[in-house]
């Protein structure tokens, strides 16, 4: 009998969705890291929206938030790499929306 973990891993590989799951996890960890860097009550001012070719894309409501995240870019990258060692994160790209 197989354990649930091995069955889940095999299902992810069979359906070729492991990349999508990894991207979702990268965005989740990036969001958590950003929340920790922003002032209390300002968590909604930045949203991790995408990941492609080593870049995490973040929408920010204010220029000050984008600047704060730019200053703490390596902290966010380190948090992602601690949680997902295989992640190839090279930079965080912010956009004010």
Q: What's the mean pLDDT in 66-88?
A: 95
User: How far is 92 from 53, CA to CA, in rounded Å?
Assistant: 11
Structural domains of the chain, ranges and CATH numbers in brackets: 4-96 (3.30.300.20)
Tens digits of residue pLDDT in 20-71: 888 999 999 999 999 999 999 999 999 999 999 999 999 999 999 999 999 9
Q: For CA atoms 24, 29, 32, 36, give the dihedral sign.
A: negative
Give the per-residue pLDDT at 20.
81
**In terms of pLDDT, which residue wins out, 85 or 2?**
85
**In terms of pLDDT, which residue wins out, 5 or 53?**
53
This prediction has a pTM of: 0.81
Give the per-residue pLDDT at 21.
81
């Amino acid at each position: 009998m197989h354990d649930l973990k091995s069955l889940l891993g095999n299902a992810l590989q069979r359906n070729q969705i492991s990349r999508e799951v990894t991207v979702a996890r990268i965005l989740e960890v990036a969001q958590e890291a950003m929340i920790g860097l922003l002032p209390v009550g300002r968590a909604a001012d930045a949203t991790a929206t995408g990941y492609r070719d080593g870049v995490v894309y973040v929408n920010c409501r204010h220029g000050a938030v984008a600047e704060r995240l730019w200053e703490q870019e390596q902290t966010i990258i380190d948090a992602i790499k601690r949680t997902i060692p295989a992640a190839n994160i090279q930079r965080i790209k912010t956009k004010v929306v």
